[in-house]
Amino acid sequence: MKIFLDTANIAKIKELSQTGLIDGITTNPSLLFKEGGDAKKIILEICSILPDGDISVEITKTNPDDVYKQAKEIAALSKNIIVKIPCHADYYKIINKLVIEEVPVNVTLVFTMLQSLMMAKLGVTYISPFVGRLDDLDVDGNVIISEIREMLDNYNFETELLAASIRTVREFHEAILNGADAVTMPVEIFEKSIKHILTNQGIEKFTEDWKKLGIQQFP
Ligand code: E4P
């Protein structure tokens, strides 16, 4: 099970990669806009912080021919880049071409099981259904995750299911139970998910009781 951070924040990526739990990073134009500065420089730095991680970088062009050209240029930046392409019908032929040319593709902005089936049939590396954006519309995003899991298993597709647009620790928890191969989440959700108030309180109580014993050196 892979954990990705959905951020382009270098300081946080450096800090949290030290936990040994981060398998990659997903970026998008909005996340790069949030950080500001030179997007190419930021991407290259992320790739060097996690040289064995999967770093998803999204295309920014819209015309299919330009998307193909840009996808190849993005992929050439580093061996650990996965090119992110929106699941739009105009790009299907481009995605097919890129897969044939062995460019790793993460198909983003996926909202249905059928879109996922089409992408798995093309053989993309990851499909990214957006759980939180469906939940925003009162559609249970994690039901889609479980349907996609069933479909991938029914046909033995190798495409990995990457639950994206995670807004709460609960959505992360449910994505795991519904069989996501990977989950990408904002830094705050990862940080929340590795903490528990009862663990903190338990440590305080044990430390307090131990001090009362008055032992100077142990063991
Ligand atoms: C996925 O790869 C996207 O970067 C991301 O999860 C989008 O999340 P949002 O809906 O919170 O913008």
Residue 84 annotated among the catalytic residues of the structure: yes
Is 61 a member of any domain?
Answer: yes
**pTM higher than 0.85:** yes
Longest CA span, the chain: 74
Structure confidence at residue 209 as a pLDDT band (50, 70, 90): very high
Q: Is 165 in the pocket of ligand 1 (CB under 6 A)?
A: yes
User: How many angstroms does the Cα of residue 99 sit away from the middle of ligand 1?
Assistant: 23
Residue 138's domain is classified under what CATH number?
Answer: 3.20.20.70
**Residue-level pLDDT at 113:** 98
Each residue's pLDDT tens digit, 61-120: 999 999 999 999 999 999 999 999 999 999 999 999 999 999 999 999 999 999 999 999
Q: pLDDT per residue over 120-151, tens digit each?
A: 999 999 999 999 999 999 999 999 999 999 99
Is residue 26 within 6 Å of ligand 1 at its C-beta?
Answer: yes
Mean pLDDT of 45-59: 98
Instruction: Give the DSSP H/E element, type plus range, for residue 193.
Output: helix 187-193
The CA distance from 1 to 12, in Å, is 21
Q: Give 165-189 pLDDT, tens digit per residue.
A: 999 999 999 999 999 999 999 999 9
The range of the structural domain enclosing residue 112 comes to 2-213
Report the domain count for the chain.
1
Q: Pick the catalytic residue from 84, 93, 97, 211.
A: 84
Burial class (CB in 10 A: 0-12, 13-18, 19+), 107: buried
> Does 64 map to a domain?
yes
